[in-house]
Amino acid sequence: MYDLTGFQRDLLYVIAGQDEPHGLAIKEELETYYEKEIHHGRLYPNLDDIVEKGLVEKGELDQRTNYYTITARGRRELEARREWEDQYVGDQLSESE
């Protein structure tokens, strides 16, 4: 996970939180979060990168539409990232509420 960009990590979170989202659904979710347009030239190469790393699998809905699912390895990487983050901010965030 350390070799991913922040954008690629966000892709993993979005994919993990949805049921086999297609590229446009992922794009829309990230545009809501980032509050700006996500261009196809940024989205799809990054999706391909995380597929190549074995964190996400890509399937085909039809000839034009792919869907994405998180792999077991991708889920483990997300869990490890959350544990790492909790070392630094987990208790602090709970105390500030």
Specify if 47 maps to a domain: yes
Cα–Cα distance between 87 and 93 in angstroms, integer? Answer: 11
What CATH number should be reported for the domain holding residue 16?
1.10.10.10
pLDDT band at 56 (very low <50, low <70, confident <90, very high): very high
Task: Work out the angle between the directed axes of helices 6-16 and 23-34 (0-180°, nearest 10).
Answer: 120
Q: Would 39 be classed as within a structural domain?
A: yes
Total domain count for the chain? 1
Residue 9 makes CB contacts below 8 A (sequence gap 6+) with: 1, 81
CA distance 97 to 93: 7
Residue 68 belongs to domain spanning: 6-90
Q: Judge whether 10 lies within some domain.
A: yes
Q: What is the mean pLDDT of residues 37-56?
A: 97
What local confidence, expressed as pLDDT, does residue 89 receive?
87
Mean pLDDT within 47-64: 95
Residue 40 placed within a domain: yes
Give, to the nearest 10 degrees, the angle between helix 72-85 and helix 6-16: 120
